[in-house]
Amino acid sequence: MKLKSKILSLILVAVLTFSLPTLAFASTHTNTSNDTERFVVYAASGTVLVPFALAITMKMDIVVSYPGKYITYESMYTTVPGGAQLPFNASVNAGNIKYYKDGEYRTTHSLPLSPSYYKNPSDLTDLNAGEPNSNLADSSTYKAVGYATYISSSTTPAAYTGDTTEGVVD
């Protein structure tokens, strides 16, 4: 009986020894990227086209869970500073994050669509976030590129896509 008890104790110690380090290192890591992309649109004022210098400011967060490196959460916060004070209607939408591995396109995660809203009286703002259905291979490093689009039927161009927010999902 003592031999059986010792063997069970050794098995329990072995299981705990090999599983505790994995449990001890289970954690999350947030990859954050920030970028501002400037552009010019033209709006009609009578018979004259008036230029407006605008910018799309983007912040992208990608939360990765360890071990196994699963993407558990993605968000993009997008704003056009001063956009709410424009003399024409416009919106900005944060929509997609594209993933690349070794320069090769792998997949696109579409964030849940929500309408742009005014968070601050001087900014045109959009926030999209969600838990992705991740279809990326475990234990790989990816480059993530977030896309945000300015849209207005009152300007030329009517749409402009900012796509330079890049982050490494490691």
What domains does the chain contain, in order, with CATH numbers? Answer: 26-169 (2.60.40)
Q: For residue 129, give every residue at least 6 positions away whose Cβ sits within 8 Å of its Cβ, in sequence order, or none.
A: 73, 74, 75, 76, 111, 112
42 within 8 A of 57, measured Cβ to Cβ: no
Rounded to two decimals, the pTM is 0.73
Q: What is the mean pLDDT of residues 62-70?
A: 80
Cis peptide before 157 (omega within 30 of 0): yes
Residue with tokens 């954050």: 32
User: In this structure, are residues 74 and 127 in contact, taking their beta carbons and an 8 Å threshold?
Assistant: no
Is the per-residue pLDDT at 98 higher than 70? yes
| Tokens (6 digits) for 161 | 């896509």
CB atoms within 10 A of CB 52: 17
pLDDT digits (tens, 9 = 90+) for 100-155: 988 899 888 888 765 555 445 567 887 877 777 677 776 678 889 999 999 999 99
Reply yes or no on whether the pLDDT at 23 is more than 50: no
- Which of the listed ranges 23-32, 53-62, 91-100, 109-118 does the model predict with the highest average pLDDT? 53-62
CA count, 13 A, side-chain hemisphere, 106: 17
